[in-house]
Structure 1
Amino acid sequence: MITYIITGVGDRKHFPTYHFILPACLTVTIHVIAFTVPFQQRWNAIYDNGVSLTSAIIDSTYIICILLSILYSGLSLLRIKSYKRQVTNYSADIYRMSLDWLSFIIIFRVLLQTLPIAGLILGIELFNKLGVIWTFTTLPAVFTQIVLCLNILSENYVIIEPITAKEKEMTTSGNYAQLERQRVEKYLENEKPYLNPEFKITDMAKDLFSNRTYISAFINREYGMNFNRFINNYRLKEVERLQSEAIQRKQKISSTEIVIHAGFSNYRSYFRAKKMAKNDPVSID
C-alpha cells in the first residue's frame, strides 16, 4: 500500500479492493488455526511427515503466503522502476526520488521472511528451532518498519502531483508561453531556482507561465536530457563556481557544505549527478 501511494503517477486512484480479498482470507485462516488448534499440534503438523487435514491446511497457507509475498514484491519493484522513469521529468532531487530505501525493504523482507517458511516445508533442520524462526520473521519485520517510518517521517520521497485541470486546459488549447533556449537559460542563471533542493518542473512551469508537459518536451528536444539531469547540471556548475571562489578567497569550506549550497540535498546526490553528467549528449554551457 505504501509503495502504491508513494509511486503514484497521474490521477490518484484508490488501491483496488480485490487485492485485499486473498490476504484477508489467509489472515482469517491463520487466526482460526491459531485459536482452535493447540500449539503442539500445529508444531507436529509442520514437522511430522504424516498427512493430516491440519498439516495440509497449514502447509497450503504458508505456500500461498510465500507466493503472494514474492508476487507483490515483484509488482512493487516494477512499480518503483516505472515511477523512476517518470519522476526524472518531474523532480531534480536525485536522493529523495531514488526510493532506494523502499527497494531495499521489499527485497530484504521477502528474502528473510520466506526463507524459514521454505525451510520448514523442505524439512531443513536449521529451521526446526522456534528461535531461528522468530529471528528470521519477527526481527526483519521490526527492522523494516523502523526503516519505513524513519523515511516516511523524513519525507524521503517525491510524490508526483497529478496534472491539474488548468494544466490540461493549457495543453489542449495551447494557451501557454512558448520557450526559447535563451529565455530558459537566462531564467536559470538569474533566478537560480535550482538552489532549492526540492525544485520541481511544476515550479519552473509556474515561473515561466507554461506547463510541465511542454517544458519537459522542450528540455528533452533542445538539450537531449530529462528535467532532472538538466537542473542538476546547473547545480554541478554552481559547485565548480563555489569551489573556485573558495580557493580564491582561501576559505575553508567542506565539500558537503559546497554541494548543499549548490542545491543538492546531500553529497550522495552530487556524486550521482556528477556520474550521470559524463554521459550527457549536450552541454548547457
Structure 2
Amino acid sequence: MVLGCVDVRPHTVRLHMEITRLLLLPALASVVTLVVVAINRVHAPTKRPHSILIAYLFATGFTWATFYQCYYHPAGFIYTHHLAMLSFLIMPVFLYQLIFEATKIDARESFSRIHYFVPVFITLVLLVASLLTPKKVQIDCFATLGQQMDASYDYFLWLAGNRMRMRLVLSLLYTIMGFQRLSSYRRAVINYSANDATNRLSWVFWLLFASASLVVVPFLGAILSRKDIFLSVWLYIQGSLIIALNIYLSVYVIQWRRFVYRPEGLDSVCQSGVNAVSDDRQLSDEGQLSDDATVKGINKQNFEQFMSENKPYLNPDLRIADLAAELTVNRTTLSVFINETYQMNYSCFINGYRYETFKQLVKQPENAILTKSALAERAGFHSYRSLLRYQNKGTTHEN
C-alpha cells in the first residue's frame, strides 16, 4: 500500500480514470461488504466476529479513501493523515483478532487490548508532531515527499515517511502470531471435535497466506520510492487482493458457526494440546458432582456398545459435547477417557469408526453404483478428502 502523495499528476483522462479506479474501488468494495456484514449481524447468533470484521472493513475503506484524498487533495489530507495512520496500522490487529476468535479453544480466553497500544501510540505521537508543524510545511511534505520541507521539521517527515516500515513490521508480526495460533488450535481441538472443516480451519490458513502476500507492497515501499510503487503493477495486485480478501472474510464470518468450533462453556484446555487431566470427581455441565463424570465411571464395554448401536459418528458435525451429553458425562472427562483407553484423541477415535463404516459400505454390492465421495459422506465424513486425510495418517482402530 502507499500512504502519502506522489510527485506525479495525471496528464490524460485515461490515466486519471485508472488512478481513481485503483484508489476508490477497494474503498467502495469495503463499504459494500461492510453493509452486507452489518445487515447479517442483526440476526447472527455470534455477533463478535461480525463486529471485528466491520471494524476491519471500515479501517480498510477509510485507508484507501485517504490514499485518494492525499493524491488529489493534499491540503485536506493534513487534517486526516493521523487517522489514516491509525487505520493503516490497526488493520493487521483487527485481522489477528478475527483469527484469535476463530482459534479460541478456551471460552474464557479474551483478546488483550494491549494489541491496540502500538497503533494508537504512534498515532498520538504523529498528532502531537502535526500540532507542532505548520500546515504549509505539512502540505509541502505530502505534496512533494519532503523535497521542499524545512529541515527543522525532520521529526514530522520521519513519522510520515516511515509508516510503510511500521506497517511492514506489524504485518509480519501478526502473520507469524496467526500461524502460531492456528497450529496450537489444531493440536488442541482434535480432543473435542471430529469435524475436519473446523479442526483444520483451512480458511484461516489461506487467510494468513493472503495476508502474508499483502506484505510485498509494504516491503517494496520500505526500499523504493512511493512514485515507483504507485506506478508499478504491485499496487494494482494489492487492490485486487484487498477486494478478494474482503469478500472471502465476509463469506466465512457470515457462516461462522459452520466453520468454527464454538467451545461455549468448555473447561479450560491447554492451548498446546496437552491432554486434560481430571480428578475422580468432576462437575457435570449442570454444576452437580457426579460419579458418572469420572474416567473410571465410563465403562468401556457399555461405551462401545453405545457407539455400535447408536452410531453417533454418522453425524459429520458430531462434537464431543454432543456425545458427552448423550452419555451424561463431562466432556473433558470423556476426552481423557478416550485418550487413556484408546491412546488416541477424540478426532481420530470418531474418524476410526467412520473409516471402518466406509470400508463396510464399499464391500456392499448395492453400493457399487455410488461414488467413494458419496460413501464417505454416508460414513460420517464431511468429504472424501477428509477420509483421505485421515487414511494418510495411518491411524485406525478396531471397533
TM-score range, shorter chain: 0.7 to 0.9
When residues 232 and 6 of structure 1 are mapped into structure 2, their CA distance, relative to the original with a 3 A threshold, is same
Give SS of 2:359's match. Answer: helix
C-alpha separation in 2, matches of 1:151 and 1:79: 18
Structure 1 position 231 matched with structure 2 position 333: no
Give SS of 1:197's match. Answer: coil
Structure 1 position 253 matched with structure 2 position 349: no
1:42 corresponds in structure 2 to: 142
Give SS of 1:74's match. Answer: helix
Q: In structure 1, which of residues 258, 263, 267 is the aligned counterpart of residue 384 of structure 2?
A: 267
Q: In structure 2, which of residues 99, 102, 126 is the aligned counterpart of residue 6 of structure 1?
A: 102
C-alpha separation in 1, matches of 2:352 and 2:359: 11
When residues 126 and 258 of structure 1 are mapped into structure 2, their CA distance, relative to the original with a 3 A threshold, is farther
Which letter maps to 1:21? F
Give SS of 1:249's match. Answer: helix
Structure 1 position 158 matched with structure 2 position 261: yes
When residues 27 and 243 of structure 1 are mapped into structure 2, their CA distance, relative to the original with a 3 A threshold, is farther
Greater shift in the superposed pair: 199-208 or 11-20:
11-20
C-alpha separation in 2, matches of 1:100 and 1:3: 12
C-alpha separation in 2, matches of 1:257 and 1:27: 55
C-alpha separation in 2, matches of 1:134 and 1:80: 29
- Matching of residues 1-285 of structure 1 within 5 Å: 1-25=97-121, 37-38=138-139, 41-42=141-142, 44-45=144-145, 52-112=154-214, 114-123=215-224, 127-130=228-231, 132-154=233-255, 155-163=258-266, 166-167=284-285, 169=287, 174-176=291-293, 178-245=297-364, 248-249=365-366, 251-276=368-393, 278-280=394-396, 283-285=397-399
* C-alpha contact 2:195 2:317 (8 A) present in aligned 1: yes
* C-alpha contact 2:141 2:157 (8 A) present in aligned 1: no
When residues 44 and 105 of structure 1 are mapped into structure 2, their CA distance, relative to the original with a 3 A threshold, is farther
The structural deviation recorded for 1:111 is: 2.7
Moved over 4 A (4+): 25-30, 50-54, 124-127, 172-175
Mark the runs of 5 or more structure 1 residues left unpaired by the alignment: none
The structural deviation recorded for 1:284 is: 2.3
Query: Normalised by the size of structure 2, how large is the TM-score?
Result: 0.61
The structural deviation recorded for 1:167 is: 3.5
C-alpha separation in 2, matches of 1:45 and 1:126: 10
C-alpha separation in 2, matches of 1:47 and 1:118: 22
* C-alpha contact 1:127 1:133 (8 A) present in aligned 2: no
When residues 134 and 250 of structure 1 are mapped into structure 2, their CA distance, relative to the original with a 3 A threshold, is closer
Structure ranking higher on relative contact order (CA contacts 8 Å, 6+ apart): 1
The structural deviation recorded for 1:169 is: 4.4
The structural deviation recorded for 1:25 is: 4.6
C-alpha separation in 2, matches of 1:47 and 1:116: 23
Give SS of 2:169's match. Answer: helix
* C-alpha contact 1:109 1:140 (8 A) present in aligned 2: no
C-alpha separation in 1, matches of 2:226 and 2:247: 31
When residues 58 and 130 of structure 1 are mapped into structure 2, their CA distance, relative to the original with a 3 A threshold, is farther
When residues 234 and 103 of structure 1 are mapped into structure 2, their CA distance, relative to the original with a 3 A threshold, is same
The structural deviation recorded for 1:54 is: 4.8
When residues 275 and 126 of structure 1 are mapped into structure 2, their CA distance, relative to the original with a 3 A threshold, is farther
* C-alpha contact 1:219 1:226 (8 A) present in aligned 2: yes
Which letter maps to 1:268? R
Percent of matched pairs sharing the same residue: 23
Which letter maps to 1:117? P
C-alpha separation in 1, matches of 2:301 and 2:147: 73
C-alpha separation in 2, matches of 1:239 and 1:284: 13
C-alpha separation in 2, matches of 1:184 and 1:192: 11
Count residues in correspondence: 273
The structural deviation recorded for 1:91 is: 0.5
The structural deviation recorded for 1:252 is: 0.9
The CA deviation string for residues 97-117 of structure 1, in whole angstroms up to 9 with x for no partner, is 2112212211322332x2222
Give SS of 1:163's match. Answer: coil
When residues 208 and 10 of structure 1 are mapped into structure 2, their CA distance, relative to the original with a 3 A threshold, is same
